[in-house]
A and B are shown apart, each in its own frame.
Chain A
């Protein structure tokens, strides 16, 4: 997008690929437009020749200032590859910068999620192909999905954990700073939670797709995962955030375990359960709209 503005790539790169003298002069004097400044700086970061050419145009103080800003820009960097791709997709850079501090978007977190998924999915495959046996002795023979019990329990909980890590203050080492900043309200919380939700749903849905199980399983997991995350957020408007997340986890774990013991684990994502999740999601959305100012991460009672 920035590249399409006039005066970006064209005038910056002279015939030999370096910015011309006029351009360096206007950059040095601070009269160049933002886009031009940007591309000149991008070039200067990597070109010693132009950096020394620039020094002819500026007084020492301004040069030192420009130099330190350049160094800082280089130190801040462009962020991860994912961040660069998302930026190119048109997401505002500063929003992506906020997400960088979300633990459940870090590679180590996502790798552990995949590790857990590999274990439960592997278990499901092993049972399905008869490498190991599972389930209670009196299981109803032939009922589908008995091998899926661990996965059905863990999948939505992993999504919930990702969202909880995105909004619980205990996962943000600098939460006191975030609390005292203007950009600390519901918007920040929602941006973090939604991105964590999206990031966790991808591996969970992929695992559900790869598992030997019903083909509709990846889709059927969406609504429960969304409902659990929304429930945790909505409950956090009334309860301490950690208690809210734990409560949502229990509300999933207990029925999932009971159905697994009854050898009908798939019921947790079938018809009635889907209706229940849809209703929960709607109710939580209403609560969040009505009470979102209670979720502001500052003005809270420590601890």
Chain B
């Protein structure tokens, strides 16, 4: 057994050789992933298979091939699956709501689904998660009266009910205002019990800010697993800033300071080399993978 495989087999939550097709689409194609305690960020373009991967880890979707193990439990067995769900908090990408429920009643309902049967304990849990996402004063609001970002925070709140050991968040920061995003980062980094957390996002700065581990998924395949610094380093020596657009670069875009930023192998005329960010590394990686 090589070192990589050894590492995978000791992780708290892991999956090996996951494949999932929808008709002719290969949503996942032989994915191996190992999740340690702490936060893992999952990056990938639209349609890369992030939601599919997370739903399989969350035991609501079944892979065509491959194995999942969470805390030594196998979701393929009905009894062990329930055991995983007892320790799980899950925010689906498209979480539907019972729109006529009030915020508090919805959380109470989810708490029942999570087998918190004692009424007082439920109220305490609901109060705790509402405070965690800053929705205390909306407890009585109907869900249909919430703004999109508030609804997203409600989704995060329900995932935190019962202090899960495995927290799976599919695009938790989508629709959050800057202040709430900072608050969310703080919330995740200070969770008690250091749960195994995995979140998908399109915002590389979320990853740089709070994820010690990052994984990049492209077209259903794993293309990178490491630290954010290592991902940024993938673009080292290839990120340039210049006054004009450059057609030879892989990617060129105009930054806020009115200067152009390029990722490419050749320096554009009059350009200066800049130190790459996580986003640069991710863009570089998805570009080279797409070119192959």
The interface of chain A, by Cβ under 8 A from chain B, is: 34, 37-38, 65, 68-69, 71-73, 75-77, 92-94, 97-98, 100-101, 172-185, 188, 293, 296, 298-302
CA distance A77 to B105 in the complex (A): 8
With a cutoff of 8 Å between Cβ atoms, the chain A residues found around residue B97 in the complex are 173-174
B88–A180 contact, CB under 8 A? yes
B127–A182 contact, CB under 8 A? no
CA distance A34 to B124 in the complex (A): 13
B95–A174 contact, CB under 8 A? yes
Of A77, A175, A298, chain B has the most CB atoms within 10 Å of the CB of A298
A72–B130 contact, CB under 8 A? yes
B96–A183 contact, CB under 8 A? no
B127–A177 contact, CB under 8 A? no
Q: A98-B109, A175-B96 are in contact. Are A72 and B123 (CB under 8 A)?
A: yes
A97–B109 contact, CB under 8 A? yes
A178–B127 contact, CB under 8 A? no
Of A69, A172, A174, A178, chain B has the most CB atoms within 10 Å of the CB of A174
With a cutoff of 8 Å between Cβ atoms, the chain A residues found around residue B122 in the complex are 76
B96–A100 contact, CB under 8 A? no
- Contacts of B46-104 to chain A: CB distance below 8 A: 55, 58-62, 75, 78, 81-82, 85-86, 88, 90, 92, 94-99, 101-104
Instruction: Flag whether B113 is at the interface (Cβ < 8 A).
Output: yes
CA distance A179 to B130 in the complex (A): 23
CA distance A301 to B56 in the complex (A): 10
A183–B109 contact, CB under 8 A? no
B112–A183 contact, CB under 8 A? yes
B127–A72 contact, CB under 8 A? yes
Instruction: Flag whether B259 is at the interface (Cβ < 8 A).
Output: no
CA distance A282 to B264 in the complex (A): 70
CA distance A131 to B82 in the complex (A): 60
With a cutoff of 8 Å between Cβ atoms, the chain A residues found around residue B59 in the complex are 180, 298-299
CA distance A77 to B123 in the complex (A): 10
With a cutoff of 8 Å between Cβ atoms, the chain B residues found around residue A296 in the complex are 78
Instruction: Flag whether B108 is at the interface (Cβ < 8 A).
Output: yes
Q: Kindly identify which residue among A34, A72, A73, A182 contacts B114, using a CB–CB cutoff of 8 Å.
A: A182
A183–B62 contact, CB under 8 A? no
B112–A174 contact, CB under 8 A? no
With a cutoff of 8 Å between Cβ atoms, the chain B residues found around residue A38 in the complex are 120
Number of B residues, CB within 8 Å of A: 47
CA distance A69 to B60 in the complex (A): 32
B110–A177 contact, CB under 8 A? yes
Q: Closest residue of chain A to B141, judged by CB?
A: A75
With a cutoff of 8 Å between Cβ atoms, the chain A residues found around residue B86 in the complex are 182
B62–A177 contact, CB under 8 A? no
Instruction: Flag whether B126 is at the interface (Cβ < 8 A).
Output: yes
With a cutoff of 8 Å between Cβ atoms, the chain B residues found around residue A68 in the complex are 127, 130-131, 136
B115–A176 contact, CB under 8 A? no
CA distance A133 to B158 in the complex (A): 57
CA distance A92 to B103 in the complex (A): 22
A101–B109 contact, CB under 8 A? yes
With a cutoff of 8 Å between Cβ atoms, the chain B residues found around residue A100 in the complex are 101, 105, 109
Instruction: Flag whether B248 is at the interface (Cβ < 8 A).
Output: no
CA distance A73 to B60 in the complex (A): 31
A71–B139 contact, CB under 8 A? yes
With a cutoff of 8 Å between Cβ atoms, the chain A residues found around residue B203 in the complex are none
- Minimum Cβ distance to chain A for residue B150 (Å): 15
Q: Closest residue of chain B to A65, judged by CB?
A: B127
- Minimum Cβ distance to chain A for residue B115 (Å): 5
A to B CB contacts below 8 Å, 5 in the list: A72-B104, A173-B97, A177-B110, A298-B60, A301-B61
With a cutoff of 8 Å between Cβ atoms, the chain B residues found around residue A177 in the complex are 90, 92, 95, 110, 113, 158
With a cutoff of 8 Å between Cβ atoms, the chain B residues found around residue A97 in the complex are 108-109, 112
A75–B60 contact, CB under 8 A? no
Q: A71-B136, A76-B104 are in contact. Are A174 and B62 (CB under 8 A)?
A: no
CA distance A94 to B116 in the complex (A): 8
- Minimum Cβ distance to chain A for residue B42 (Å): 17
Instruction: Flag whether B117 is at the interface (Cβ < 8 A).
Output: yes
With a cutoff of 8 Å between Cβ atoms, the chain A residues found around residue B112 in the complex are 94, 97-98, 183
With a cutoff of 8 Å between Cβ atoms, the chain B residues found around residue A101 in the complex are 98, 101, 109
Given A75-B105, A94-B112, A182-B82, 9 more pairs with CB closer than 8 A: A71-B127, A72-B126, A73-B123, A76-B102, A76-B126, A77-B102, A176-B95, A177-B113, A181-B113
With a cutoff of 8 Å between Cβ atoms, the chain B residues found around residue A172 in the complex are 96
B115–A182 contact, CB under 8 A? yes
B78–A293 contact, CB under 8 A? yes
B62–A300 contact, CB under 8 A? yes
A76–B98 contact, CB under 8 A? no
CA distance A188 to B110 in the complex (A): 13
Q: Closest residue of chain A to B60, judged by CB?
A: A179
A180–B108 contact, CB under 8 A? no
